[in-house]
Amino acid sequence: MNTPSRPAARSLDWTVVRNRMAAAIEQTEALLEAAQQDCEAQYEQRSPRAAVEVPAGQNEEQTVGLVTFVLAGRQLALEIRYVCEIVSRARVSPLPGMPPHACGVYDLRGQLLPVFDLRGPVGLPRAAGIANDWAIVCGHERPEFLILSEAAPEILALSPDEIGAAEGAPVSATPWHRATTRSGTVILDGRLLLDDRRFFLDDEKITAGDETERTEFHESPTSE
């Protein structure tokens, strides 16, 4: 019985191999670049700063961009320059030992940010928990924390004539109360809000939250 002979091994053409590898790398880089551009485009769509519609006959310098949200049935607002984006169905991870107005932390594309319920700090009733269906990512140059809203936030562009000085209102006790619109929406001072020490949590406490299981958060801590 004759043993079948193996075919002679062919020499490897390394030039072809290198060309194929270069082509594969080029295709991969093109796909990654397209995915990155798509991600950035989606972020721009989520960013309220790119969605302000200026009323006809006015320019951006003649209007004030606002993001309105609802707490305890009261409509509040922040200037759009202090809002990075709006998220829906925010998954919040509760952490032990946090102040009553702190709900937990939220993973924003790998960055852990604290989440707050403003009802207590602004003097609004907290008879029931607040769902995490909607949240506003607050920050000036970068995301710093999230605040919850009981309804879908809206984006408005108002003229200065539609905004009056701060008036007596259920939230007038807070130093963040900046102004009130003709429709009764209370505008909070975003700069003071971002500088308020009540919204600074220890980095160690936030980091520890990354080790806990992320669960759907439905209720805020009850008031004292």
CATH of the domain at 110: 2.40.50.180
- Domain presence at residue 206: yes
- Express each pLDDT in 38-61 by its tens digit: 544 444 445 665 555 555 455 555
Q: Is residue 13 part of a domain?
A: no
Number of domains observed in the structure of the chain: 1
Quote the domain boundaries for residue 152. Answer: 60-211
Does any domain span residue 110?
yes
Total number of residues shown for the chain: 224
Pair 206, 112: CB distance under 8 Å: yes
- Average pLDDT, whole number, for the chain? 74
* 5 is a domain residue: no
Task: Give the amino acid at 75.
Answer: Q
Does residue 116 fall inside a structural domain? Answer: yes
pLDDT in tens, 68-101: 999 998 999 999 999 999 998 778 888 888 888 9
